[in-house]
Structure 1
Amino acid sequence: MPALDLSTHPGHLARRLQQAHTLLWNTTVSEEVTSPQFAVLNTLVGEDGLDQRTVGERVGLDRSTIAEVIRRLADRGLIDKVRDPRDGRRSVLHATEEGVRVHKKLALRTARMNQVFLAPLAPREQDLFLDLLRRVSDAAEGLRNPSPPAALGA
């Protein structure tokens, strides 16, 4: 059997793209705050007081990963985790003043990183590329959390 042309395999290309993103992130944005940590911080800056499960869903992280990301952000003093006064079983998350400051600094750097990352594409291609990535990513989320099958005869 001949070797496969991996340039036609989306998973292979996605892995290479992720490697490029990680390199750019570490050199342009931050070596201390990871991209998933920034996504969580960004979510809380945009909508403070969410619970951990909701933040995880918004940024596409599974339960164990979001728990670890939250722990690390809290350990660094970038977010606070407090019991919900209306429901003691639930904790809500808040960006701290330091978290907001770090977010603002990193948000500027992510804009520069995105310019470098997308530079090989013309502006219209960039929009199309992002749209296609969103569509595939959204569909992939459905694979992780499939909807229950429709009832027969419904």
Structure 2
Amino acid sequence: MATSTETSPSAISIDLYDQPGHLIRRAHQISVSMFHDLVGREVTPVQYAVLRMLQELPGLDQVTLAQRVGLDTSTTADIAVRLEAKGWIVRELLPRRQRRLLLTPAGQELLDQLIPGVSALNHELLDGMGEEDAQDLLRLLRKFVHLNNDQSRAPLRSASDEAKAQ
């Protein structure tokens, strides 16, 4: 029996505009559109995520990078090839056909140029919500992603996940 704090199946409306999946899809559309408006079209949001992760953790191999940003390995490999062709990263061959990825100075310069747009994007996405609602939304999004991570085609894996597995 559902309590007032639980969400029962009957509590979720079948109205399209109240369905979580539809709202998440629309939020993603809005976020990508605003990314292009405020950050530009030189990189995609996914390419930006890859570059930022390489900035945070230089020298990651492609498989670990894919796990850290929640992408499948073939998509990550395709993105790495594109970013290397643009001169923003280098891929070094490691044993067992793995590749180590590093930002180039041009890649770091690009990220430095993108920071004002990303800051504006983060502000604009939450503008008008008020500080408490904005923090609640972020908290709930993190919780949603955490609770449903294993349902993803490419689950996010962190360093702490890897340590637990060993």
TM-score range, shorter chain: 0.7 to 0.9
**2:65 corresponding residue in structure 1:** 55
Please identify which structure carries the higher strand content: 1
Equivalent pairs, count:
142
1:65 aligns with 2:75: yes
Structure-1 separation of matches of 2:78 and 2:71: 10
Distance 1:69 1:136 in 2: 26
Alignment of 1:67-146 (within 5 A): 67-84=77-94, 87-144=95-152
> Aligned equivalents of 1:121 and 1:82: distance in 2?
44
**Where do 5+ consecutive residues of structure 1 fail to align?**
147-154
Alignment map for 1:13-28 (pairs within 5 Å): 13-28=23-38
Percent identity, aligned pairs only?
33
Matched, 1:43 2:78: no
Residue 10 of structure 1 corresponds to 20
Quote the Cα distance in structure 2 between the aligned partners of 1:107 and 1:8: 34
Distance in 2 separating the partners of 1:89 and 1:64 = 14
Q: Which amino acid aligns with 1:69?
A: I
Letter in 2 for 1:90: Q
1:64 is paired with a residue whose SS is: helix
- Report the Cα distance in structure 2 between the residues aligned to 1:138 and 1:62, rounded to whole angstroms: 18
In structure 2, how many angstroms separate the alpha carbons of the residues matched to 1:134 and 1:71?
Answer: 30
- Alpha-carbon separation, structure 1, partners of 2:69 and 2:116: 19
Deviation (angstroms), 1:88: 4.8
SS at match of 1:142: helix
In structure 2, runs of 5+ residues without a counterpart are 1-12, 156-166
Partner-residue secondary structure (3-state), 2:98? strand
For 1:80 and 1:140, how far apart are their aligned partners in 2?
33
Bigger drift between 135-144 and 53-62 goes to 135-144
Distance in 1, matches of 2:70 and 2:139, equals 17
The root-mean-square deviation of aligned C-alpha atoms, in Å, is: 1.7
Q: Which amino acid aligns with 1:103?
A: L
Return the letter of the residue paired with 2:80: I
Query: 1:107 deviation in Å?
Result: 2.0
Q: Deviations over 1:85-116 (max 9, x none)?
A: xx352210000000000011112211111111
